[in-house]
Amino acid sequence: MQNQKIVLEKRPVGLPTPDCFRIENESLSPFPQGLIRVRSEFVSLDPYQRSVIGGNHMGQTAAIGDVIPGEAVCTVVESENNEYPVGTVVRAHSGWQLFSDHAPQALSRVPSELSRPSLALSILGMPGLTAYAAMHQIAKVKAGDTVLIPAAIGGVGAMAGQLAKLAGATTIGITSSKEKGALAKELGYNHVLNRNSETLAEDLSAVAPQGISIYLDLAGDPILTIAAQHLSLGGHVILCGLIQDYNGNYKTMGPPPGLWIGKRATVSGLVVYDYEHLRSTFETAYTGLYEQGILKPSEHVFHGLESAPEAFCRMMQGQTLGKVVVEIGKGSATA
């Protein structure tokens, strides 16, 4: 059996380009006793991987020649473990490769009642948990709130917008094109704005004349400062991501502290790893809502492991339509 993997060829400078990555084929090593061998079915592409391959992520790094780290939905293909028999569908930190070996404690089952397993990487996975932590654990969203969310149809944004709407809030999504705006409307956002509009601040005032009470910051400046200026008194800002800064050519400074004081604002930082203990409660509750048709998915699926570098580069330029996953067709596996 052959493994196929995508490794880091060179660190990106500015926007990542496909030549930062290289595909490698290698013979699979003999199955190691005590571990569980899985085959990746859906690989998750996430903005944080830009910091990992850039060598400036807070928790992990990838050296030149390493497999690109990341999470995947996988099927167990070799196992002597009763808890994870062959055929079990799991989440694993496999990275961008076909086959990988894991200790049982490093795996998590994908709920068997989930009819679309790739969602365990998006609205029902780490991005969904991030949205849940932001809306329900930190901001405690409720009816009457006006919630602003950039990257509105992406992994975090698509779930945050729907959670806020389900709680009875008015939701405003920010995207970057008409096509994405239409998808945001399908997800239920009450209003949709375009981050490339030269009049974004005025556009926001027009749809939220009383101001916004919750801003989930996934973007950094200039949206962060515009949002802070439009915060209603006592509003809550959750700092969660800085996608504007990830490509290395921008440094968000944020609004001056006097603005926070004037607005009597609460500003919270969010790191999803702090909410891992809530994962199974979250999964159980929201898998049910998805299966009932109450929650909608927002995925951009690319096909074949070899498409991952191009897909990643497009995602980092805002050229993808939803949370990005790579489906590894059966044809990708070589025997």
Ligand X SMILES: NC(=O)c1ccc[n+]([C@@H]2O[C@H](COP(=O)([O-])OP(=O)(O)OC[C@H]3O[C@@H](n4cnc5c(N)ncnc54)[C@H](OP(=O)(O)O)[C@@H]3O)[C@@H](O)[C@H]2O)c1
- Token code pair at residue 162: 């729907």
184, amino acid identity? A
With binding defined as CB under 6 A, does residue 208 bind ligand X? no
Closest to ligand X by CB, 244 vs 307, is 244
User: Does an H or E element contain 155, and which?
Assistant: helix 155-166
Bridge partners, 323 (sequence order): 299
Q: Which is nearer to ligand X, 88 or 176 (CB)?
A: 176
Q: Which residue is nearest to ligand X (CB)?
A: 154
- From the list 31-39, 80-88, 286-294, 315-323, the region that binds ligand X by CB under 6 A is 315-323
Question: Which residues on adjacent β-strands are paired with residue 194?
Answer: 175
Among 39, 91, 180, 236, binds ligand X (CB under 6 A): 180
Span from 23-31, 41-49, 97-105, 260-268 in contact with ligand X (CB under 6 A): 41-49
If binding is defined by CB under 6 A, does position 46 make contact with ligand X?
Answer: yes
The strand pair at 323-327 and 299-303 is best described as parallel
In the complex with ligand X, which residue's Cβ is closer, 98 or 120? 120
By the rule CB under 6 A, 185 interacts with ligand X: no
37 near ligand X (CB under 6 A): no
Q: Number of residues in contact with ligand X, rule: CB under 6 A?
A: 31
Closest-CA residue to 29 (of 109, 84, 127, 100) = 100
Q: Does 181 bind ligand X (CB under 6 A)?
A: no
Does position 270 interact with ligand X (CB under 6 A)? The reply is yes
Binders of ligand X in range 131-160 (CB under 6 A): 150-151, 153-157
Could you identify the residue written with the tokens 């190691």?
32
Residue 133 burial (C-beta neighbours within 10 Å; 0-12, 13-18, 19+): buried
Sign of CA dihedral 212, 217, 218, 220: positive
Closest approach, Cβ 170 to ligand X, in A, equals: 19
On the question of a cis peptide bond just before residue 222, with omega within 30 degrees of 0, the verdict is yes
Six token digits for residue 324 = 């990005």
Residue environment code for 27-40, b if the CB has 16+ CB neighbours within 10 A, otherwise e: eeeeeeeebbbbbb
Say whether residue 47 binds ligand X (CB under 6 A): yes
| Nearest CB to ligand X, comparing residues 64 and 182 | 182
> Smallest gap, in angstroms, from Cβ of residue 275 to ligand X?
8
> Alpha-carbon distance 96 to 57, whole Å?
18
Contacts with ligand X by CB under 6 A lie at 46-48, 127, 130, 150-151, 153-157, 175-176, 180, 195, 218-219, 223, 240-244, 270-272, 315, 318, 320, 323
